[in-house]
Copies of this chain bind each other. A is one copy, B any other.
Amino acid sequence: MSSKLNVVPFVSVDHMMKLVLAIGVERFLLELAAFIEADLRRWSEFEKSVRLASHSHEGVIELMPTTDGAFYSFKYVNGHPENVRTGRQTVTAFGVLAEVGSGYPVLLSEMTILTALRTAATSALAASRLAPENAACMALIGNGSQAEFQALAFKALLGVRCLRLFDIDRSASHKCVRNLADLGFDLTVCASVEECLEGASLVTTITADKRKATILTDNLVGDGVHINAVGGDCPGKTELHPDILKRSDVFVEYAPQTRVEGECQQLPPDHPVTELWRVISGDAPGRTSARQVTIFDSVGFAIEDFSALRYARRLLQDLPFYEELDLLADPDDPRDLFGMIRRAGASAVTA
């Protein structure tokens, strides 16, 4: 990459698509999951904080920073469920990776696509430790922007090929079918949540309502199921009836954040939960019995974005799908920021 001090490599949406297509979605998800796994294994090296959220009537804007002492990353991400009405994305994001030693950014990237990928990779990574043995069929409830990424992550990491789809908007399910038809799945569009759950030992909920919803009630959930609860991700936004949580073992990314934002917000603050990194690093058990109901209460954590940016940057070494952004001032003399402006004016006059 460029050695010019003013330049930061920038991955646009177009370039991110080219990057994903060049690697292949499933391989991208597998490799990204490996980066996330590697970073979760060194959990204690990271500076962790609850993301900084600014809530409004329409949605939320969040900043998600973290650092491992060598690199620093943050993501800007919004969540606005009504955005679809104006043709906008519910969730858009971009992020930056920077060197801690100099504070200089080394990568600016779109992260709308990358967030969908890292969320799915994290879900499948968690399920690889929590799903019942030989789980072959997944109920996918909520068939919006992120649904196909979840499906492909579970196929890539767990070999799941049977998908049962449900959305209150049936056209969203048909969109999923169109997108996934030739990718090796056995697809069934269902008319209700009940129908969707039939025979599924994996359940992914990924709806977008910004309110307390009850997508799953306790009587619908059979023993031995693993629930990948992705849609509930801010205060007042949940998908599961609290009774399900009470009879399940709950796994989270970062407890201080999930207790405020996740399905866990419905539980007492001292309800036992297990952080995923403990399972990944062998510090805590994942699934321990066939009848156990496990829940991955996913809200998204900054380290996953750190891993995603780190992976994207690695890919750029061989696949130069980026442009050079003139983001940082670089005067001839570093103390002479003002002189740089003056000289720019002088050269414009003489040019």
Partner of A80, one of B21, B102, B143, B178: B102
Say yes or no for A199: interface residue by CB 8 A criterion: no
Is A232 among interface residues, defined by CB-CB distance under 8 A? Answer: no
Q: At the interface, yes or no: A319 with Cβ under 8 Å from chain B?
A: no
Q: Find out whether the CB atom of B103 lies under 8 angstroms from the CB atom of A339.
A: no
Of residues 317 through 338 on chain A, the ones whose CB sits less than 8 Å from some CB of chain B are 325-331, 333-338
- Set B18, B92, B147: member contacting A328, Cβ < 8 A: B92
Residues in B whose Cβ lies below 8 Å from that of A92: 103-104, 328-329
Query: Among residues 74 to 121 in chain A, which have CB atoms less than 8 Å away from a CB atom of chain B?
Result: 74, 76, 78-80, 83-84, 86-90, 92, 94, 96, 98, 100-105, 110, 112-113, 116
- Tell me the bound Cα distance from A112 to B100 in angstroms: 18
In angstroms, how far is the closest chain B Cβ from the Cβ of A60? 8
| Inter-chain contact A103/B116, CB cutoff 8 Å | no
Point out the residues of chain B lying under 8 angstroms from A105, CB to CB: 76, 94
List 18 A-B pairs, Cβ < 8 Å: A12-B325, A17-B341, A21-B341, A25-B341, A52-B52, A52-B65, A58-B103, A61-B98, A78-B103, A80-B102, A84-B335, A86-B102, A89-B330, A94-B327, A110-B329, A172-B335, A179-B339, A179-B342
In the complex, chain B residues whose CB is within 8 Å of the CB of A143: 335
Residue A315 is within 8 A (CB to CB) of chain B in the complex: no
Q: Are B12 and A327 in contact (CB under 8 A)?
A: yes
CB-based contact B58/A344 at 8 Å: no
Which residues of A come within 8 Å of B, CB atoms? 5-6, 10, 12-14, 17-18, 20-21, 25, 47, 49, 52, 54, 56, 58-61, 63, 65, 67, 69, 72, 74, 76, 78-80, 83-84, 86-90, 92, 94, 96, 98, 100-105, 110, 112-113, 116, 143-149, 172, 175, 178-179, 325-331, 333-342, 344-345, 348
- Chain B residue at smallest Cβ distance from A328: B92
A112 touches which of B76, B83, B328 (Cβ 8 Å): B328
Closest Cβ of chain B to A95, distance in Å, is 11
Q: Is the CB of B84 within 8 A of A103?
A: no
The answer to whether A54 and B65 touch (CB under 8 A), given A102-B80, A112-B328, is yes
Of the candidates B49, B80, B330, the one whose C-beta lies within 8 Å of that of A103 is B80
- Please tell me if the beta carbons of A56 and B325 are within 8 angstroms of each other in the complex: no
CB distance from A154 to the nearest CB of B (A): 14
- CB-nearest residue of chain B to A338: B148
Cβ–Cβ < 8 Å partners of A104 in chain B: 78, 88, 92
A21 touches B337 (CB 8 A): no
Contact assessment for B179 and A344 in the assembled complex, using a CB-CB cutoff below 8 Å: no
**Which of B98, B116, B345 contacts A78, CB < 8 Å?**
B98
Instruction: Determine how close the nearest CB of chain B comes to the CB of A308; give it in whole angstroms.
Output: 15
Q: For A333, what are the chain B residues with a Cβ–Cβ distance below 8 Å?
A: 175
* Among all A-B residue pairs, the 9 with the closest Cβ atoms: A78-B103, A148-B338, A12-B326, A112-B329, A145-B337, A17-B344, A21-B345, A144-B335, A80-B103
Contact A338 B179, beta carbon cutoff 8 Å = yes
Min CB–CB distance A66 → chain B (angstroms): 8
Further 16 A-B residue pairs, CB within 8 A, beyond A17-B340, A21-B341: A12-B325, A52-B65, A56-B100, A59-B103, A61-B72, A61-B100, A63-B63, A78-B102, A78-B104, A80-B103, A83-B334, A89-B329, A89-B337, A110-B329, A116-B338, A175-B336
